[in-house]
Amino acid sequence: MSVAESTFRREFPVKGGDFAKAGTAACEIKELLKDLGIDTTTVRRAAIVAYEAEMNVIMYAREARMDLTVSPKEIHLIIDDRGPGIPDVELALTEGYSTATAEMRELGFGAGMGLPNIKRNADVFAIDSEVGRGTRLEITIRTNGHGKP
Amino acid sequence: MNDKNFHAIHITKDKCIGCVHCMSACPTRAIRVGDGKARIIDQLCIDCAECLRVCPHEAVHSHTTSFASLDAFDYKVAIPSTVIYGQFGPTVVPNEILSALRRVGFDEVYDLSSICELNCAATEEYLNEHPRPRPYITATCPVVVRIIQRRYPSLCGQILPIEPPREIAAKILRTILPKALGIPAEKIGIIHITPCPAKIVSINSPATLAKSYLDGAISIRDIFPQILKALRKSDEDAMMRHLFPETLFSGIGMGWPLSGGETRGLKSHRAVAVSGIRDTMRVLDEVEGGLLQDIDLLECTVCPDGCVGGPLGVENRFLAKSRILELVAAAGEHAVVDQKDVSRLYHKNFLSFDHPVTPTEPRPLDHDPARAIDKAKLREELVAELPLKDCGVCGAPDCRTLADDIVRGYARLEDCPFVKTAPKEKR
């Protein structure tokens, strides 16, 4: 069986501001990974990454596509959003830094955990952001036995 | 008995007419209808009893202990859930209810409110000593434990490892009574009285103990007529219980069966209470996604409004709740349990789980990762062919579940009345 054959791919659209559906894509991703027999620890890491990434889109961007690719060895997630972009990526990657509005904080979001938390749970993390255009995150999580414990 | 797939909820085939009420209501999609009858898939069922609540034909029943079966014991002890205090009118005080239970045939009856308070104090100590992980999740509701084992395996380690009051009470009695009474331990029957069908699951198939300290669980609904009869016959006894109350009730513990009641007594921790199966699942999804880490303790009970909304109660839950709140107010806020007792039992690990909660066997589409991926792809293709009307005619609760069943080999695409197949190859 070739590599391409044993790869699962699916796209999840996410709409900015759609708080009612917050977490839906992340949940679907999580269920899917369980169905694929991915180990519990890896599923948890992927769930945290997907949740944070989805929330970032809902809070800040206009829309995004979450593109999930799974092979037996790794989970690959690309989140490509159309939104304001991040002026200072390094600052956004600092724990505790947040630009969340009071309203978002009221809802329990915006503790400044988002991007750092995604990075912490990823084995490979890349971010590319352009102000006025959007942000693209590319994350790889290796399944157990292939990555971080 | 410690059968991992022991279930309290069963379908009586004779009464089942094969309608789809239970199937639609099931939050874990554990029910299928085939050959005119509903069937529960053991590995998916969490014993939440949503099906029991909605069945119009009383075809869903729960295995609880019968009073007659207690004859096997020389000495019968009842420890009723505090939900029982809310089942009778505003003039019936808890002491009367306990006394009536003695007349029904129990040799002794113990109130659980003080043990609920003890559990809360022990939980406080545990949270003080364990700053991580957050949030911890309470283990009182056996359905919550079961759903975590089955659907949220990564949260097993976040279940707060203190036994629920019913087990703590039974363990204390099991330790003390044989010596005090001079009766062999196995001849003493300790029975929980409860509005909950799932307690029998935690007794027969405990998730955190080698063996439950309880011998059975009788439903409030089953024993209610006998209690009522005993209450009616005893004006004098009622007066005695009013004038010489013999049990000291804990106001902190009395409110335990109301959502938020388990955590109300916490002094220095932030707690959130969730009730109802769907909301519980939504919040557990969030916790698994890394949210709610600023919460110390998450209380989840799958019945609406907490145990007071258990399906095997008698009084409607709103009246029961109102009555219990009156009793909470009457009992006041002061502690009845000595903190020294709590500390002593806690540090002896007397209140702890025997072993942590472990996840149940996962249920991937295939144990071979590459084949699981292929099946997931096929499932997506099938979903695209299905009408997504979720009508249930195929015998699965919704189209996605049918697609899932097909790739697992339990159903066929032809089961869908909307898909016109010259059965395709991909099937």
Q: Could you say which of B286, B290, B362 has the minimum Cβ distance to residue A34?
A: B362
pLDDT single digits (tens) B20-52: 999 999 999 999 999 999 999 999 999 999 999
Q: Is A135 helix (H, G, I), strand (E, B) or coil?
A: strand
Query: Cβ separation of A10 and B380 shorter than 8 Å?
Result: yes
Chain A CB contacts of B154 under 8 Å are 40-41, 43-44, 47
DSSP state of B187: G
Residues of chain B with a CB closer than 8 angstroms to some CB in chain A: 153-154, 285-286, 288-292, 294, 359, 362, 364-367, 369-370, 372-374, 376-377, 380, 404
Tokens at residue B280, please?
């519980």
Domain membership of residue B43 (yes or no) is yes
- Distance between the two ends of chain B, CA-based, in angstroms? 41
Q: How many angstroms separate the CA atoms of B372 and B352, rounded?
A: 39
String of DSSP letters for B191-216:
EEEES-TTHHHHHHS-SS-SS-S--E
B295: closest CA of chain A, how far (Å): 11
Q: Could you say which of B289, B373, B376 has the minimum Cβ distance to residue A47?
A: B289
pLDDT single digits (tens) A98-115: 666 666 665 555 544 688
Query: Cβ separation of B290 and A47 shorter than 8 Å?
Result: yes
Q: Which residue type does B38 have?
A: A
Chain B CB contacts of A50 under 8 Å are 289
DSSP state of B130: -
Domain match, B309 and B420 both: no
pLDDT of residue A145: 55
Domain membership of residue B261 (yes or no) is yes
Helices (H), chain A: 24-35, 40-60, 89-92, 102-106, 114-121
Q: State how far the alpha carbon of B225 is from the alpha carbons of B58, B405, B424, in Å.
A: 19, 44, 59
B154: closest CA of chain A, how far (Å): 6
Total CB pairs under 8 A between chain A and B: 73
Average pLDDT over residues A88-94: 86
pLDDT averaged over chain B? 94
DSSP state of B361: P
pLDDT of residue B422: 54
- Percentage of chain B with pLDDT > 90? 91
Distant-in-sequence, close-in-space partners of A100: CB < 8 Å, separation ≥ 6: A59, A109, A110, A111, A112
Chain A CB contacts of B404 under 8 Å are 35
pLDDT of residue B244: 82
Domain match, B137 and B256 both: yes
pLDDT single digits (tens) B332-379: 999 999 999 999 999 999 999 999 999 999 999 999 999 999 999 999
CA nearest B63: which of B170, B194, B219? B219
Domain match, B331 and B381 both: no
DSSP state of A113: -
A115 has a chain B CB within 8 A of its CB? no
- Element of type H or E holding B165: helix B165-181
> For chain A, how many residues are written?
149
Query: pTM of this prediction?
Result: 0.92
pLDDT single digits (tens) B73-86: 999 999 999 999 99
Is the Cβ–Cβ distance between B126 and B134 less than 8 Å? Answer: no
pLDDT of residue A113: 60
Q: Could you say which of B291, B359, B376 has the minimum Cβ distance to residue A35?
A: B376
Q: State how far the alpha carbon of A5 is from the alpha carbons of B118, B248, B300, B364, B372, in Å.
A: 57, 69, 42, 18, 11
Q: Is A91 exposed, middle or buried (0-12, 13-18, 19+ CB in 10 A)?
A: exposed
Cα A12-A14-A18 angle, rounded to 5 deg? 145
Is the Cβ–Cβ distance between B218 and B211 less than 8 Å? Answer: no
Domain match, B315 and B177 both: yes
Query: Cβ separation of B364 and A35 shorter than 8 Å?
Result: yes
CATH class of A8-142: alpha beta
Question: For residue B127, what are the domain limits?
Answer: 67-347
Q: pLDDT band at A148, cuts 50/70/90?
A: very low
A69: closest CA of chain B, how far (Å): 10
Q: Could you say which of B153, B294, B374 has the minimum Cβ distance to residue A40?
A: B153
Q: How many angstroms separate the CA atoms of A92 and A52, rounded?
A: 13
| Number of folded domains that form chain B | 3
Domain membership of residue B355 (yes or no) is no
pLDDT of residue A147: 46
Question: Which of residues B63, B95, B110 is at a domain's end?
Answer: B63
Query: Cβ separation of A71 and B373 shorter than 8 Å?
Result: yes
Domain match, B129 and B203 both: yes
- Of A134-148, B103-117, B225-239, the one with minimum mean pLDDT is A134-148
Domain membership of residue B352 (yes or no) is no
A144 has a chain B CB within 8 A of its CB? no
- Element of type H or E holding B318: helix B317-331
Residue B396 belongs to domain with CATH number: 1.10.15.40
Is the Cβ–Cβ distance between A136 and A81 less than 8 Å? Answer: yes
Asked if the model's pLDDT at residue B10 lies above 70, the reply is yes
Mutation pick from B154, B158, B293, B295 vs chain A, by most beta carbons of A within 10 Å, is B154
Average pLDDT over residues B185-196: 97
Domain match, B182 and B41 both: no
ipTM of the complex: 0.88
Asked if the model's pLDDT at residue A88 lies above 90, the reply is no
String of DSSP letters for B64-82:
---GGGGGG-SEEEEEE-G
Is the Cβ–Cβ distance between A89 and A107 less than 8 Å? Answer: no
Cα B104-B90-B216 angle, rounded to 5 deg? 35
Q: How many angstroms separate the CA atoms of A143 and A52, rounded?
A: 19
Residue B23 belongs to domain with CATH number: 3.30.70.20
A45 has a chain B CB within 8 A of its CB? no
A116: closest CA of chain B, how far (Å): 13
Domain match, B253 and B295 both: yes
Domain match, B158 and B47 both: no
Q: How many angstroms separate the CA atoms of B23 and B305, rounded?
A: 23
Helix B339-347, helix B113-129: angle, nearest 10: 60
Distance of CA A13 to the CA centre of its chain: 12
Domain match, B174 and B238 both: yes
Asked if the model's pLDDT at residue B427 lies above 50, the reply is no
Is the Cβ–Cβ distance between B133 and B157 less than 8 Å? Answer: yes
Question: Which of residues B15, B41, B63 is at a domain's end?
Answer: B63
pLDDT single digits (tens) B125-160: 999 999 999 999 999 999 999 999 999 999 999 999
Cis, bond preceding B135 (omega within 30 deg of 0): yes
CA nearest B145: which of B194, B198, B217, B101? B198
Query: Cβ separation of B372 and A35 shorter than 8 Å?
Result: yes
CA nearest A28: which of A8, A57, A51, A56? A51
DSSP state of B159: B
Domain match, B192 and B235 both: yes
Owner of token pair 């709610």: B292
Q: How many angstroms separate the CA atoms of A62 and B113, rounded?
A: 52
pLDDT of residue B100: 95
pLDDT single digits (tens) A18-77: 999 999 999 999 999 999 999 999 999 999 999 999 999 999 999 999 999 999 999 999
Query: Cβ separation of A27 and B365 shorter than 8 Å?
Result: no
A5 has a chain B CB within 8 A of its CB? yes
Domain range summary for chain A, segments of one domain joined by +: 8-142
Query: Cβ separation of B373 and A34 shorter than 8 Å?
Result: no
Residue B118 belongs to domain with CATH number: 3.40.50.1780
CA nearest B98: which of B107, B183, B326, B176? B107
Query: Cβ separation of B154 and A40 shorter than 8 Å?
Result: yes
Is the Cβ–Cβ distance between B188 and B174 less than 8 Å? Answer: yes
Is the Cβ–Cβ distance between B84 and B78 less than 8 Å? Answer: no
Tokens at residue B174, please?
């099991």
pLDDT of residue B421: 63
